[in-house]
Amino acid sequence: MRVFITGGCKNGKSYRAVQLAAGMGAPRYYVATMKPADGEDDARIIRHKTERKGLGFTTLEMAKDIDKIPDWCDLNGVFLLDSVTALLANEMFVGGEFYPSAYEKVINDILALMEKTTNIVVVSDNIYSDAFIYDVTTENYRKGLGLADRAITAACDACLEVSFGRLVVHKNAKGYAFK
Q: Is 151 a domain residue?
A: yes
Q: Is 9 a domain residue?
A: yes
Q: Is 179 a domain residue?
A: no
Q: Is 178 a domain residue?
A: no
Q: Which domain holds residue 37?
A: 2-127+136-172
Structure confidence at residue 12 as a pLDDT band (50, 70, 90)? confident
Instruction: Give the whole-angstrom CA distance, residue 146 versus residue 142.
Output: 6
- Provide the CATH number for the domain around residue 30: 3.40.50.300
| Mean pLDDT, residues 148-173 | 95
- What's phi and psi for 63, nearest 5 deg? -65, -25
Q: Is 177 a domain residue?
A: no
Q: Residue 174, Cβ neighbours under 10 Å: how many?
A: 8
Question: Based on the structure, what is the number of domains in the chain?
Answer: 1
Q: Is 99 a domain residue?
A: yes
159: pLDDT strictly greater than 80: yes
Question: Could you tell me if 158 and 178 are in contact, meaning their C-beta atoms sit under 8 angstroms apart?
Answer: yes
Question: pLDDT tens digits for 74-118?
Answer: 999 999 999 999 999 999 999 999 999 999 999 999 999 999 999
Question: pLDDT tens digits for 18-49?
Answer: 999 999 999 999 999 988 778 887 787 788 78
